[in-house]
Amino acid sequence: MSFREMSAWITLTSVLACFGVYFGSLATGQVRAPSFATLHLLLLCVSALVALQIGLHAVAARFAPKAARAVRDEREQLIQMRARGLGYYVLMAGVLALAIPGHMEGTKIDLLNFALLDVVVATLVVSAAQIVMFRRGV
Amino acid sequence: MAGPPIANQIRRLRFEHGEMTQSELAERIGMTRQTVAAIEAGKYSPSLEAAFRISRVFGAALEDVFQWTEVD
């Protein structure tokens, strides 16, 4: 597995884990927005995501130091570009879908959480698309 | 997913050049081993520049390394 593919796996799993906790807690009613508890949970999840990303990338770089320092080659750039293209469509669809809670009885926090969910889903799509393209070929 | 209609002789040429590894070839053309493997397996069509770099490593003409296989 190349360093870039490993990086995509790290992003996919860490985003899924951290924001899974956040949105899972909201969905199950363990925290209710707006509240300081929700804000604290969000900050905790974002901090955990940053720590996981840095830590896991550092570990991955120790196993492949040359690949970690190298610039992306043309295939890796193509994969990144195509994956981000897919993520863009997901992001745009999510932004348009924000109109639903916006025009119903959604609060500011609901809108914020929907926007955050949109960003998270788009990030997951980008990472998953990268993994698929690394595996199946471009 | 159907690959591009381009065949290549990279595997044979590597073998004929002292059993050069994919990693060695990758290093000489400034790519990753995974990209060389994808090119070799016909899963990725390299840019013209990369194709020339590969040909130069083997001291071969471009068409000795890559062949268009689609029937008109």
pLDDT per position as a tens digit, B18-50:
999 999 999 999 999 999 999 999 889 999 999
Give residue-wise pLDDT tens across range A95-131.
999 888 778 877 888 888 999 999 999 999 999 999 9
3-state secondary structure of A43: helix
Q: Which residues of A touch B46 (CB under 8 A)?
A: 74-75
Q: Which residues of B touch A136 (CB under 8 A)?
A: 1, 43
Confidence at residue B2, expressed as pLDDT on a 0 to 100 scale? 62
3-state secondary structure of A82: helix
Confidence at residue B13, expressed as pLDDT on a 0 to 100 scale? 95
* A25: nearest Cα among A15, A11, A37: A37
Q: Which residues of B touch A2 (CB under 8 A)?
A: 32-34
Q: Is A132 on the interface with B (CB under 8 A)?
A: no
Confidence at residue A32, expressed as pLDDT on a 0 to 100 scale? 83
CA angle A35/A36/A40 to nearest 5° reads 125
Compute the half-sphere exposure of residue A71: CA atoms within 13 Å on the CB side of its CA. 4
**Separation CA B1–CA B19 (nearest Å):** 30
Q: What Rg, from alpha-carbon coordinates, does chain B have?
A: 11
Q: What is the mean pLDDT of residues A30-59?
A: 92
Q: Per-residue b/e over B34-68, b at no fewer than 16 CB within 10 Å?
A: bbbbbbbebbbbbeeebbebbbebbebeeeebbee
Lowest mean pLDDT among A19-23, A31-35, A94-98: A31-35
Candidates B32, B46, B47; nearest CB to A2: B32
Interface probe for B, chosen from A2, A6, A74 (most Cβ of B below 10 Å), is A74
